[in-house]
Amino acid sequence: MHVVQLHHAIQTLNTRVPVYVVSFADLPYYRAWLNGALFEHAPRNLFNNTHFLMDPYLRVYHAYGLGRNSFLRVYGPHILWHYVKLYARGQQLPKMRQDTLQSGGDFVIGHDGRLRLAYVGKDQSDRPKLVTILEALRFKTAP
C-alpha cells in the first residue's frame, strides 16, 4: 500500500514531515478504510505525524486539477490484473462504494508554500516512486 510505504521511507530518515491524506469518501467508509485496510498493514504510531482529512465535495481535488477518469482508464489492464491476482490468492475483490472514476494524485508542498511535486496517475494504481516523493521533500536518497 503506497501510503504505508511512504511512511516507512520517511520514518527511516529520522525527520518529522507532516503528511496529509485527503479522501472524498464519506465518514463511515473512510473510518473503515483507516481501521481496516490501512492499519492492518502498519502500526498506528507510524502515522503519528499524519493528518487524515475528508473532502466530500471535492474542493481540494478540483483546486489541484483532479478530474474524473474514463471507465476504460480506471478498469484498464493494470487494474484488471490486480483484481486477477487478488482473486488467485483467494482474497475478496473490493466492493465499489465510492466514485471509482475520481482521479487521485500525490502532491508535495514545500515549507514556503510552493508546489514541489504534482503527480496525477494514469489510472488508480499509478503512483509516483518513493524516491520521487523523497526528492521533492528535498531528502537525498542513495542511488
Q: Nearest 5°: CA angle at 103, between 141 and 84?
A: 85
Q: What's the predicted TM-score (pTM) here?
A: 0.73
Phi/psi at 26 (5° precision): -75, 165
Q: What is the pLDDT of residue 59?
A: 94
Residue 143: all three cell numbers together: 542511488
Residue 135: all three cell numbers together: 526528492
What's the mean per-residue pLDDT of the chain? Answer: 83
Matching residue, cell 511512504: 6
Mind listing the pLDDT tens digit for each residue in 38-64? 778 777 777 888 888 999 899 999 999
Residues in the chain where the model's pLDDT stays below 50: none
Q: What is the pLDDT of residue 111?
A: 81
Q: What is the pLDDT of residue 141?
A: 52
